Structures are given as C-alpha cells and as structure tokens.
Amino acid sequence: MGGARWPSSPQRVLEVRVSVASSRASGSTGVPLLHETIGDNLDRAVRRFPGRDALVDVAAGRRWTYAELAAEVDALALGLLDLGIAKGDRVGIWAPNRAEWTLVQYATAKIGAILVTVNPAYRSHELEYVLGQSGIRLLVAAERFKTSDYAAMIEEVRPRCPGLEFTVLFDGPGWEALLERGRAADPAALARAGAALAPEDPINIQYTSGTTGFPKGATLSHHNILNNGFFVGELCGYDERDRVCIPVPFYHCFGMVMGNLACTSHGAAMVIPAPAFDPAATLAAVEAEACTSLYGVPTMFIAELAVPGFDGYDLSSLRTGIMAGSPCPVEVMNEIIERMGMTGVSICYGMTETSPVSTQTRADDSVERRVSTVGRVGPHLEVKVVDPRSGRTVPRGTPGELCTRGYSVMLGYWGEPEKTAEAVDPEGWMHTGDLAVMDDDGYLSITGRIKDMVIRGGENLYPREIEEFLHAHPDVLDVQVIGVPDPKYGEELMAWVRMREGAEPLTAQTVRAYCAGRLAHFKIPRYVHVVEEFPMTVTGKIRKVEMRATAVRLLEAEAEAAATGGG
C-alpha cells in the first residue's frame, strides 16, 4: 500500500467517516428527453408504423393498426372540439379497461383537454367529489360494469354538480354520435388546436387513493407522463415488434403511462386482455397475441401462477414485463422467472405524483438484483434517501425516506397548493413517504412505508422483512404484516395469511414454531389471521389501513368474548 497507514488522530478518523458515499444518485442523460406533446409523439409513431398493430381489445374481438387508431383518435378529438371542449377543460373518464378508454386518452391529449381518470370502484359520493373538485365539463363513462351502475350514479349526483355539462356513455348513442360529429368536422381545427399546445401543459389529473381524508388530484403534464412512459419502455428494450399485455387498470399510471404511452412511443402494440383483471384471460391473451411483455402487481402474478392448467398455456413469446405497485416477494419473483420464462422482467418503483416511475431494474441486472431491489434511478432523474426528522441525506446502507426530483415530478395537486407544498419541497424534491436503503452501487430496496413501520417496545420493525421471511413457508401463498395496538408494547405484529390450496391454516403457535431460532423474538407475529383475500385497491395495492381497522375489531371482539366467558 506504499507505506500508507490507517489514520490515528480523531480528526483524520472523522475525515474517513464523512467520505462514505451519501445515499444520492442521478440517472443517465445519454438519451435526450422528449420535448413534444403526446399527440405529436403519436403522430410520429403513425408515420413510422402505419400498418403495425397498435391496439388489440381481446375481450371485444377488435384491433386497430396505427393508421386506424390515428383515424379514430382524430375523429374523437374533432368531435370534442366541435362540442366546445377546449384546451384546459377537464374531461372525466369512468370505465374499466376497453379500447375506447385509450381513444379518449389520446384524443384529449391532442386538443389539450385535461383527462381526469376516475377510479372504476368509486361510488356516488366519491364520484361527486371528483366531479366537483376538478371541475369536469364532460364525463365519458361505461353504462355499467359488474355491480356498478355508472349511469344511475351519474344521474344521482348530476343535480349537485353544476359544472358537468355533458355526459357520454360508451354503450349509448352519444358515443357514436360524437365520433360521427368529428368525422364530419374540418380537420384543420385539430391542427390549430395542436399548434396551441406545449409539452409543459397539464394533460392529466389522477386522484390518489385517499386512505385518509379526500383523495388529492395529482396534476401531470405531457412532459411528465410521455417521458416516463418512453423511458420505462427504453429500459424494457421495447421496439415496434413488442406486444404488451396490459391487465392493470388504465385509470392509473401503470396502465395509461407505463402501458399505453410506453407502447405508442416505441410503435409497440397495446393488448387489453379483459375489462378488469382476470388471471385466466390474461394468460389466454398472452398466448393468443404472442405477447412479449406482461404487466402486473405481485398479487396478479400470484393469481396467474395459481390458474388451473397454468402449464398448458404457451407463454414462450414472453421475454420481459413489469412488476410494480407493491413490494415483490422473492419467492414469487423466482416463480415468475422459472415458470413464466420472463427472464427480463423489470421491477419498477414509483408513485402517481412522479408520473409514476422513479427507479427500475435493467435488463442486464442479475436475478439477485431484480428480486431484492427496485433498481436504480431512471434517466434524467435524481433520488436521495434522507433522515425523516432532520432531512439530511443519510450514508449508503442507512434507511431513511426516499425522495425524487426531475422531469417526472407532478405540477402539483389540483387546486391544493398547501398540500402540494407539503409533498414537494422548495428544491423540487418529492417526498415519497417510503422507507428505503441505497447500496454502494445505487440500487434501492424499499423497506416499507413510514406510516407502516411498527414500533414495538421501542424497536422499529419493518413489515417487509417479516413478510419476506414468512413467504418461504411452504404452505403460505401470500402474507401481509401489520401493527396492532398493544397496552404493554404500544404495538404488536399481526400476520394476515393466504394459504396454499389444501394446506392446514396456520396459527399463532405454528408460526411461532416456524420462526423460533430463525427470526428475532420481537419480530415474530403475536397474532395470525387466515383469509381468502386481502382488501385491495383496484390497482392491486394492499389496503393496510383497512386491514388494521378490521384487526382492531377482531381483537376487541376476542377480548370481550374472553372476558364474558371468564366472568
């Protein structure tokens, strides 16, 4: 070592300590950002790939080439203009996945109307809030789906929503009339509307889940979501030969950005397997359309792997895909690679407010990287991990709150500047509320939500770690760990478990025996609750808030029964 010695003075030791890399990283800038509107980007794809498949609605038995898609999108855009919808007007869409959803997405973008995506699971009071808060002028909706009578709910709230001027139902005469109106209009009107748009204009409002209080409307621009879709597709290696199966909902960024915009910015085909997630229909669509990529949250992939006759589906066309939305258990990821052949599957991490993806694994990452991290920072973005209390960037290997900055950060919450300021600091960093650790190579591991962290007797416990451990149990199909109130320790752990078919239900005693000697005693769940399904949002995210509320009621009922029985 050339005679170098380890520093002996306190000052020199301090210098060594501060030289440890901080948890901050920047993405590559080799491929430039797109500086165009969504409409202009689609037009470029149409000129390059007019005869290639653009959109396939498997359930409806319909398909469009890029040239055919452009004709329908332009007709709808002209119809909207003729109706009086202009740049900046809000157009709501309330429907499950279907081809018309995609037409509305691109038609509104072409004229600069702001698309407000309404959660298909909303009931009338939630619909009323979104209609009023965003100021929707035109609502396009399905007439009904499953148990939801959308038309009836719209009529129920309409008297209390004076800003709502027009309603068009996909399955009613108004939809075709709107298209015919556009086909008869002057195409020059669309060119004039497009010329007035800029990439930085707001183009989309997506409402967050609203687990506490009313949901907030994250406002996103062409620049935000077009670039995010493009770079997600770049890191998946997409080109015009790819066919992406999209069973995740369009109303969320996963479907309309990582799905649709990733496809159209590369000339790839969008494949809709069904209006809502159906595991068997998804596998059938991959086989029938020779899909090269498949999307989903972990619970979706778990359901697909459990489909009877799974091994009979021909999934040989798959080479990649995206898993996102919630942490992926290691065991599940290994099954996806081994049984579905998705050796190039990519893990993405993000949130609606960041358009959504901030980090992603790469095609040349090892399997270990892809099962244990959410990848590295995306192109043209920055990430850092900070101490939630002080706000200082922590050293690598130290947990803290993940923050992200760059082109993807939302314009703000619609009409709520105070809440925007709470989420995005003056330097432009979006504070995610997620706990993360960055390793020496810049890979991030998500250890949970700050609000999900369980404090048991002064110990900070991270549910993700315990979930990963319990996933290795041979009888466990899926598991979620939450904190529940405890008079002695403040909080205790409860595991909600879904069992594999034919397995004996786990109990607190059998879980304790399984964990003994392998997991620290304070990390072993005190309570075990076996369920058929977890409460989830329509995007497949686990609703731990609802799980905690249910758990409290269950424990209170058990305590009351015990007290009565012992009386």
Which residues face 446 on adjacent strands?
436
Torsion 134-139-144-145 (CA) sign: negative
Pairing of strands 62-65, 53-57: antiparallel
Shared-domain flag, residues 458 and 419: no
pLDDT at 538: 62
Q: Which pLDDT does position 20 carry in this prediction?
A: 66
pLDDT of residue 10: 33
Q: How many CA atoms lie within 13 A of 334 on its CB side?
A: 8
Task: Note whether 371 and 471 are same-domain residues.
Answer: no
Number of structural domains (the chain) is 2
Query: Is 3 inside a domain boundary?
Result: no
Residue 30 lies in a domain: no
Does 14 reside within a domain? no
Domain's final residue, options 438, 466, 499: 438
Task: Please report the DSSP string for 412-470 in residue order.
Answer: EETT-HHHHHHHB-TTS-EEEEEEEEE-TTS-EEEEEEGGG-EEETTEEE-HHHHHHHH
Diameter over CA atoms, the chain:
86
Residues 458 and 392 in one domain: no
Of 438, 462, 492, which one is at a domain's C-terminal end? 438
Q: How far apart are CA 424 and CA 421, in angstroms?
A: 5
**Same domain, yes or no: 71 and 140:** yes
Domain presence at residue 26: no
Residue 106 has what pLDDT?
98
Do the domain assignments include residue 33? no
Q: What is the pLDDT of residue 116?
A: 98
Q: Does the residue 333 lie in any domain?
A: yes
pLDDT for 319 equals 95
Q: Is the dihedral of CA 58, 63, 69, 71 positive or negative?
A: negative
Q: Tell me, what CATH number does 480's domain have? A: 3.30.300.30
Tell whether 497 is covered by a domain: yes
User: Are 384 and 501 in a shared domain?
Assistant: no
Q: Per the omega criterion (within 30 degrees of 0), is the bond before 463 cis? A: no
> Can you give the residue range of the structural domain that contains 116?
38-438
Domain closes at, from 407, 438, 469: 438
Q: Are strands 344-350 and 166-169 parallel, antiparallel or unpaired?
A: unpaired
Query: Are residues 464 and 429 located together in one domain of the fold?
Result: no
Picking from 534, 448, 540, 545, the residue whose alpha carbon sits closest to that of residue 497 is 534
- Residues in the chain predicted with pLDDT less than 50, given as ranges, are 1-19, 211-212, 567
| Whether residues 114 and 253 fall in one domain | yes
Question: Which of 521, 523, 466, 520 shows the shortest CA–CA distance to 497?
Answer: 466
My answer on whether 116 and 224 are in the same domain is yes
CATH code where residue 299 lies: 3.40.50.12780
Between vectors from CA 500 to CA 495 and to CA 502, what angle results, nearest 5°? 125
Beta carbons of 421 and 413 less than 8 angstroms apart? no
Domain match, 294 and 350 both: yes
Considering the domain architecture, whether residues 422 and 490 belong to the same structural domain is answered as: no
- The token pair at 561 is 């029964």
Whether residue 24 is contained in a domain is answered as: no
d(CA 467, CA 394): 25
**Whole-prediction pTM:** 0.83
Q: Are residues 396 and 464 in the same domain?
A: no
Residues 390 and 467 in one domain: no
Residue 410 · residue 354 · CB < 8 Å: yes
- Residue 511 to residue 486: CA distance in whole angstroms: 19
